[in-house]
Chains A and B, each alone.
Chain A
Amino acid sequence: MLNYTLRRLLISVPTLLIISLAIFLLLELAPGDPMAQVPLTVPPEVKQKMREALGLGEPVPVRYWKWLVQFFWIEPLNMIDNIFGTAFAAGEQRVLSWQTRSPVMDLVLQRMPQTLWVVGMSYIVGVAIALPIGIYSAYKQYSVFDQAGTFVSMIGYSVPPFFSGVLVIVIFSVQLGWFPSIYDTTHRVVDWDTFVVQLQQMVMPVMVLALQTTAQISRFMRASMLDNLNQDYVRTARAKGMTEQVVVMKHVLRNSMIPVVTVIALGVPGIFGGAIITEQVFKVNGIGQLLITAIQANDLPLVQTLTFIFAVLIVAFNLIADILYGILDPRIRYD
């Protein structure tokens, strides 16, 4: 197992390098010019100096190498400096955003809590709803509950978040006035009343994202339970005289959870992608909204870094899912 983990870690290094190169080259092909907004009265030699100040003067391989060093060496050092108060990375050039001239990583760290709160919470809520639904609809296959569950998850698959989000805004904040339609990130939770306000503004984005998670995971849980419910060991357990609850909730559930856990792990990076849209609908200023504004402002370093962070998340969670599968299911032998 350790051997396998190490091998997978080693494979993910070239994968990430190729992805980073692909993203870098894609942005390199960009016809957009960061100097396009500079007034025409600025003389060309000054423009050239500005270009070099933005790190655009050098040939492509040098810039790629510099970006790699900045991303994988200087930014982690800065992170360590921030945590321990050391000065390893003092004076080193960091990845700067063209919009704000501040380090890209600082922007990401500022936006991270909002995304994690809303998106992370929605994923947890979605999984928590999906698992019981999946279990029960597999146990009562073809019952009314099962049919309703199938229908609801079909809707969850089919209704895009930019429609379900707008729909809940129309119903719950325009018509009923229960919840605010815009997520206020400056809100601080200090006492019970502010906590209630925070809950109110989180309900809608969380439920919209959770609907999608629930749709996928409840289907998967149901299929996995159905696979196991017809196995011989279930009949044996029943024949031994175990109660139905022990059979289903212990024997079957534990075996069914193995593939479901990996699917849950695989879905974590995907939810960040989905959050791009939901954050736009509810005006949450998280990572997704940062990416959209960066794209609209042609802020290439920020776009590059954010896209690459998404890629790192995908590779990391793929790895975690595979390793979890190996740990949970002793029948799987990777070596």
Chain B
Amino acid sequence: MTDRPHPEDVPVAGDETAPVIHNPVGAAQPVGRAIRPPRSQWWDVWDQFKTHKGALMGAAFFVFILVAVAIGPLLWTIDPTYIDIRARNTGPSLAHPFGADQLGRDMLARMLEGGRTSMAVGLTAMALALGLGTLVGVLAGYFRSLDGPLMRFTDLFLALPLLPLLLVMVMLFRDSLRSAIGPETGIFLLIVIGIGITSWMPTARIVRGDVLALKEREFVLAARSIGTPSRRMITRHILPNVLSPIMVSATLGIANAIITESALSFLGLGFPSDYPTWGSLLRDGTDYLQQHPERVLWPGLAISLTVLSVNYMGDGLRDALDPRIRGR
């Protein structure tokens, strides 16, 4: 991608100062113009990412969903809890493009509202899991004395039955949290923290491996020899270099968090049904499976397509960041 002409390199007709030189090699250029602004590594990653069609489509769809759930409720102004009893159990119409549910609540508004919650849970839980995983991974990889205990701790967490434990946690703490900080914030925090502390382990392992390899590199030795303290060593030299595996696990983390949240809501142990998410909409829809299969279809498709797009994004990102494993 280095041979793409920059706009300022191309002689423009009428530009008197720049002599037009017909030289196919393009060597004779005015001094000062030959130096291009340095391209960061991320432009190369983007160029590589662009060649992966699935990843590009996945990214486009993911952005579309994000925008839709962010500004959708501002445009589609029907209140998701408003009960229009005359429209009860109706199919798609102009007033209700996705139909209305058994209480006459507009399905499109509920889908947008549910998507907001699902995406918020997915992104927050991913951020939490990523933060925890990176912290544990960097500490275990960088400080040798912490490596053993932290990795045993990670192994212990990997041996836990995660879904059952998550269900148990929700059951145990749902009511007390709900009465302590309100029904919506309480359940949101509980689910985000639950998913976060049960899904940081893969990130920690990958980051630790990369940090261990980085520690042996010359630039780390050079930095240490001029007396860089550990804290700045990690923030300045280690963290930017483990960014790519972290980004790949971020995409996997979003997918995992969205699926886990929907599974909890589907099993009736997540968000209550007056507080819609895609999972609880799907659960509500299963009761009307025979008469109104579309009520299951919309939330299910939303979950599946979002997760599919995130997975494709992760695939493309992994290929773009690590050219050795391209095509696997």
In angstroms, Cα B5 to Cα A57, docked, is 81
Cβ 8 A contact of A311, one of B161, B169, B267, B293 = B161
Q: Does B255 contact A (CB under 8 A)?
A: yes
Q: Is the CB of A166 within 8 A of B286?
A: yes
Q: Is the interface of B mostly helix, strand, loop or mixed?
A: helix
Q: Is the CB of B303 within 8 A of A160?
A: yes
Residues of B within 8 A of A166 (CB): 282, 285-286, 289, 296, 300
Docked complex: B294-317 residues within 8 A CB-CB of A: 296-297, 300-301, 303-305, 307-308, 311-312, 315
Interface residue stretch chosen among A80-88, A106-114, A189-197, A272-280: A272-280
In angstroms, Cα B168 to Cα A296, docked, is 9
Q: Is the CB of B172 within 8 A of A273?
A: no
A295 to chain B minimum Cβ distance, whole angstroms, is: 5
Residues of A within 8 A of B301 (CB): 163
Residues of B within 8 A of A281 (CB): 286
Residues of B within 8 A of A169 (CB): 289
Q: Does A144 contact B (CB under 8 A)?
A: no
Q: Does B263 contact A (CB under 8 A)?
A: yes
Q: Is the CB of B289 within 8 A of A310?
A: no
B145 to chain A minimum Cβ distance, whole angstroms, is: 20
Q: Does A237 contact B (CB under 8 A)?
A: no
Q: Does A170 contact B (CB under 8 A)?
A: yes
Q: Is the CB of A292 within 8 A of B161?
A: no
Residues of A within 8 A of B282 (CB): 162-163, 166
Q: Mark interface residues in A147-169 (1 if CB within 8 Å of B CB, else 0).
A: 00000001101111011001101
In angstroms, Cα B87 to Cα A177, docked, is 30
Residues of B within 8 A of A295 (CB): 167-168, 171, 269
Q: Does B159 contact A (CB under 8 A)?
A: yes
Given contacts A160-B259, A291-B167, A307-B165, contact A15 B156 (CB under 8 A): yes
- Return the chain B residue nearest A181 by Cβ: B289
A-B interface contact total, Cβ < 8 Å: 128
Q: Mark interface residues in B308-328 (1 if CB within 8 Å of A CB, else 0).
A: 100110010000000000011
Q: Does A141 contact B (CB under 8 A)?
A: yes
Q: Is the CB of B172 within 8 A of A27?
A: yes
A284 to chain B minimum Cβ distance, whole angstroms, is: 14
How many residues of chain A have a CB within 8 Å of chain B? 51
Q: Does A261 contact B (CB under 8 A)?
A: no
A27 to chain B minimum Cβ distance, whole angstroms, is: 7
B53 to chain A minimum Cβ distance, whole angstroms, is: 11
A291 to chain B minimum Cβ distance, whole angstroms, is: 6
Q: Does B262 contact A (CB under 8 A)?
A: yes
Q: Does B188 contact A (CB under 8 A)?
A: no
Cβ 8 A contact of A315, one of B159, B176, B285, B327 = B159
Given contacts A159-B304, A291-B167, A310-B161, contact A141 B289 (CB under 8 A): no
Q: Mark interface residues in A21-37 (1 if CB within 8 Å of B CB, else 0).
A: 01100110111100000
Residues of A within 8 A of B303 (CB): 160, 163
Cβ 8 A contact of B308, one of A27, A32, A154, A291 = A154
Cβ 8 A contact of A174, one of B169, B259, B293 = B293
Most buried by A among B172, B285, B286: B172
Cβ 8 A contact of B164, one of A223, A226, A291 = A291
Q: Is the CB of B168 within 8 A of A155?
A: no
Q: Does A314 contact B (CB under 8 A)?
A: yes
Taking residues whose C-beta sits less than 8 angstroms from the other chain, chain B's interface range is 35 or more
Q: Does A255 contact B (CB under 8 A)?
A: no
A224 to chain B minimum Cβ distance, whole angstroms, is: 10
Q: Does A247 contact B (CB under 8 A)?
A: no
Cβ 8 A contact of B262, one of A157, A162, A222 = A162
A38 to chain B minimum Cβ distance, whole angstroms, is: 18
Q: Is the CB of B266 within 8 A of A154?
A: no
In angstroms, Cα B158 to Cα A222, docked, is 25
Q: Does A213 contact B (CB under 8 A)?
A: no
Residues of A within 8 A of B307 (CB): 157-160
- Return the chain A residue nearest B307 by Cβ: A158
Cβ 8 A contact of B168, one of A141, A226, A272, A307 = A307
Q: Is the CB of B172 within 8 A of A160?
A: no
Residues of A within 8 A of B327 (CB): 141-142
Q: Does B160 contact A (CB under 8 A)?
A: yes
Q: Does A203 contact B (CB under 8 A)?
A: no
13 inter-chain pairs at a CB distance below 8 angstroms, sorted by A residue, are A19-B160, A26-B165, A158-B308, A166-B296, A167-B297, A170-B289, A272-B161, A295-B167, A295-B168, A303-B171, A310-B164, A311-B161, A314-B161
- Residue ranges of A at the interface with B (Cβ–Cβ < 8 Å): 15, 18-19, 22-23, 26-27, 29-32, 141-142, 154-155, 157-160, 162-163, 166-167, 169-170, 174, 222-223, 226, 269, 272-274, 276-277, 280-281, 291-292, 295-296, 298, 303, 306-307, 310-311, 313-315, 318
Known: A157-B311, A158-B311, A160-B259. 17 other contacts (CB 8 A): A19-B159, A27-B172, A29-B172, A32-B175, A155-B304, A159-B307, A170-B289, A170-B297, A223-B328, A276-B164, A276-B167, A281-B286, A291-B167, A292-B267, A303-B168, A311-B161, A313-B161
